[in-house]
Amino acid sequence: MKHIKNKYDLVVVGGGHAGIEASLIAHKRGIKTILVSMDKNSVGRTSCNPAVGGLAKGQMVKEVDVLGGIMGFFADLSTLQSKTLNKSKGRSVWSPRSQIDKNLYEKIAQEYIKEKNLDVFEGEVVSLDVKNNSVSGVFLKDGSKIVCSSVILTCGTFLNGLIHIGSKQINAGRYGEKRAEGITENLNSLGLKSGRLKTGTPPRIKRSSVDWKMGDAGFGDKIPSPLSYRTENFKPKDEPCFSFRTNENTHDIIMNNLSSSAMYSGKNMATGPRYCPSIEDKVYKFNQNPSHVLQLEPEWSKSEQIYVNGFSTSLEEKIQLNSLKTVKGLENVEFIRPGYAIEYDFFYPSQLKNTLESKAVSGLFMAGQINGTSGYEEASSQGIMAGINASCFILKEDPLVLKRNDAYIGVLVDDLILKDTNEPYRMFTSRAEYRLQLRSSNADQRLLEISKKYKLLNEKTLDKLSEKIEKTLDVVNYLNENNINPEAINKRLNKLKEKEIGEPTRMANILKRPGVLIADLGVEVLELKNNLSKHMKNEILFEAETIIKYSGYINRQKEEIDKIKIYENMIIPDNFDYNKIKSLSNESREKFINIKPQTVGQAQRINGIRPSDISILLVYLKRPFHVK
């Protein structure tokens, strides 16, 4: 057996969004890291839609950014259009999203990796070297081995990937890319349980074949929002996307050919997501909708290749084409490639600790779609956590575990390890019970201390964010401590159709009224230093305003969090024997035994656990003499 290169501390398998974050953060923390990819040129590829961020996802990208991640920065550099979604709703659900130039994103990612001197090796990992339940290296297809003490698997959809287009099936990891074989079987033999999931992608069409006059153009925001705190002077392009609509003729063709679809007819054994369903699912399940929106998005600047958002499908290619041709404006549409569904192996994430390390194999971490998630941002979030924790494992430091009230990333990991999913997991803001605190505008406040502790950011960014947070709190204090006189504000209040004030009133109290903004107070609340940009100033004022407006709700949530803290800190011993508690329901006992919750808090959040079973558990944990 020949050895290649030197010994590494960490091998990251896969160069997608999870793999990039994991390897770069470990590398940054001084870990000797190598990224292994089957194709060097596909590192950083965005396989599906040309966008980063969006509802709940924009928040995650900003969290990754504060934790030293890179996705937001790459996205900012390749933005074709920037828009904050949900602007008509409350601030906690405002979510920045960038349409991106996929080619540029990939190029920037690869250049950045080169610039940072991260080792990248082109090859295929087929199995792990595991001794005494701990990982000591990876074997490559050519028989060689890389020795290491930790591995992060980020294999995406490549494990035994199978593409479906109608009845046609192709072994592939992505369209036109070879799939990976061996890892699943190897991990199975080590006792890890795997399953099959599927996901789909829409056809890519030719720009020149579309009658663009028939679509509605959508542009980005006048004041764009960057996804990275590192980005300064964000002035992206503003290339439009266009919306078109399906009609009854489109639906008829699809309905008549449902049986040809792998995504609909159940031919595909794996489970697909209920959100972002295929067009055939939409037409069948929601047949009361006479029309569905299709968003035509450029894949790179002024690209000939156009992404048909909303038309994910695995119908026969000919049917895809015929049904699309019924859409007004797409009568002459031509494909660059058809939509398809892909089926792949994932590993049940309940087999992981809350550090994303395998419970069974020490030193083995997993991140991204291999854990049953969907989405670039979900992958990137797990990548950064796996990268940080693998480096903690190697450096023998305390691991980093984010709580559900720290970050969406905390919600994501907690959900993954406690709730075995049977469809790809996507983040929604409604999954976060502390949504009001997890805003895209305060990711820095929530995570900067953690970032400092684990040395995840460079000095410059740290200083910049520290100053921003400090200034924000200054403004909040100022508004909480100072009054405004009736004559200074009543005219404005009158104009806003708000009740006038009769006596000097705390500025914060006026700001709590739904219609009032800081600007309405007409006072300078922020001393501007020279090094603060205008963008930064706006962010500070906006965030201070939000803190005051939400303070009532946030305080209530904080009380809640304090209340449940006791359960979060109540440890269930590793060797706790649930079989001894006869009174547990069988269903709960089985789940406890499989998932092995580390705390009572975790036990409570496992799906389908009856509150009475938690009461029983508490009785036994508090009175150990009951267990004989």
Partner 1 sequence: MTIVACSTPPGTSGIAVVRISGKDAIKNVSNFIKDCPFNEKSPGSKICLLVDKDGLIFDEAVVTSYLGPNSYTGENLVEVSCHGNPNIISKIIDLSVGGGASLAEPGEFTKRAFLNGRLDLSEAESVSAIIHSKSIAGVKAGVKNLKGGLSKKIGLIKSDLVSVVANLEFNLDISEEDLQPNLIKNSKGALSKSVETLKSCVDAFNETRMFQLGASVVILGPPNAGKSTLFNLLVNKNQSIVTEIEGTTRDVVEKNINIDGLPILLKDTAGIRESNNRVEKIGVERSLAEEKNADLVIYLNNAGRSFSKDKYIHVFNKSDINTPDGDYDVIISAKTGDNIQKLKETIYKALINEDIEHDTFLTSKRQCIAVESALKHVKDALSLLLGGDSLELIVEDINRSIDFLDSITSKTTKDDVLDEVFSSFCVGK
Site residues, partner 1 (CB under 8 A): 49, 55-56, 85-86, 89-93, 274-277, 282, 285-286, 289, 292-293, 309-310, 312, 419, 428-431, 433, 435-436, 514, 553, 582-585, 607, 609-613, 615-616, 619
In terms of CB distance, is 212 or 275 closer to partner 1? 275
Minimum CB–partner distance for residue 200 and partner 1 (Å): 11
At 200 the three-state DSSP class reads strand
Least distance (Å) from partner 1 to the CB of residue 258? 16
Sheet bearing 33-37, strands edge to edge: 119-122, 33-37, 10-13, 150-153, 364-366
The candidate with the shortest Cα–Cα distance to 414, out of 469, 471, 355, is 355
The pair of three-digit structure tokens given for residue 242, joined into one six-digit string: 């266009």
Q: Which is nearer to partner 1, 303 or 312 (CB)?
A: 312
| Residue 235, token pair as written in the block | 């002035």
Taking the complex as a whole, the smallest distance from the CB of residue 293 to partner 1 amounts, in Å, to: 7
Rounded to whole angstroms, the Cα distance separating 490 from 483 reads: 13
Q: Which is nearer to partner 1, 361 or 516 (CB)?
A: 516
What minimum distance in Å lies between the beta carbon of 308 and partner 1?
11
Q: Which residues pair with 35 in a beta bridge?
A: 12, 120
Judged by beta carbon, residue 380 or residue 391, the one nearer partner 1 is 380
Nearer to partner 1, 230 or 419 (CB): 419
- C-beta of 248 vs 449, nearer to partner 1: 248
Q: Which is nearer to partner 1, 325 or 419 (CB)?
A: 419
Kindly list the distances between the CA atom of residue 480 and the CA atoms of 484, 511, 549, in Å, as whole numbers in the listed order: 11, 10, 12
Residue 273's φ and ψ, nearest 5 degrees, are -75, 145
Planar angle of CA 567, 570, 574, nearest 5 degrees: 130
The least distance separating partner 1 from the CB of residue 406, rounded to whole angstroms, comes to 17
**Nearest residue (CB) to partner 1, 212 versus 553:** 553
CB of 367 to partner 1, least distance (A): 22
Rounded Cα distance between 123 and 412, Å, is 31
Complex with partner 1: residue 160 or 261, whichever CB lies closer: 261
Question: Could you tell me the smallest distance in angstroms from the CB atom of residue 615 to partner 1?
Answer: 8
To the nearest whole angstrom, how small is the minimum distance from the Cβ of residue 92 to partner 1?
A: 6
Please tell me the distance from the alpha carbon of residue 66 to that of residue 167, in angstroms, as a whole number. 45
Interaxial angle between packed helices 376-395 and 408-418, expressed in degrees from 0 to 180 and rounded to the nearest 10: 80
Task: Characterize 180-203 residue by residue with b for buried, 16 or more Cβ atoms within 10 angstroms of its Cβ, and e for exposed.
Answer: bbbbbebbeeeebebeebbbbbbb
CA 53 to chain CA centroid, Å, is 8
Least CB distance to partner 1 at residue 282 (A): 5
Q: CA–CA separation, 361 vs 15, rounded Å? A: 22
Q: Which is nearer to partner 1, 236 or 277 (CB)?
A: 277
In sequence order, the β-bridge partners of residue 200 are 341
What 3-state DSSP class applies to 500? coil
CA distance 563 to 568: 10
Strand order, beta sheet including 145-147: 125-131, 134-140, 145-147
Taking the complex as a whole, the smallest distance from the CB of residue 506 to partner 1 amounts, in Å, to: 21
Bridge partners (DSSP) of residue 206 are 305
> Taking phi first (over 0 means left), then psi (-120 to 50 degrees means alpha), and beta for anything else, what does residue 302 get?
left
Q: Which is nearer to partner 1, 149 or 225 (CB)?
A: 225
Q: List strands edge to edge, sheet with 79-85.
A: 51-53, 95-100, 79-85
Minimum CB distance to partner 1, residue 596 (Å): 20
Give min distance, CB of 59 to partner 1, in A: 12
Closest by CA to 437, choosing from 540, 559, 567, is 559
CA distance 122 to 125: 10
Q: What does the alpha-carbon distance between residue 406 and residue 403 come to, in Å, rounded to a whole number?
A: 5
Shorter beta-carbon distance to partner 1: residue 337 or 419: 419
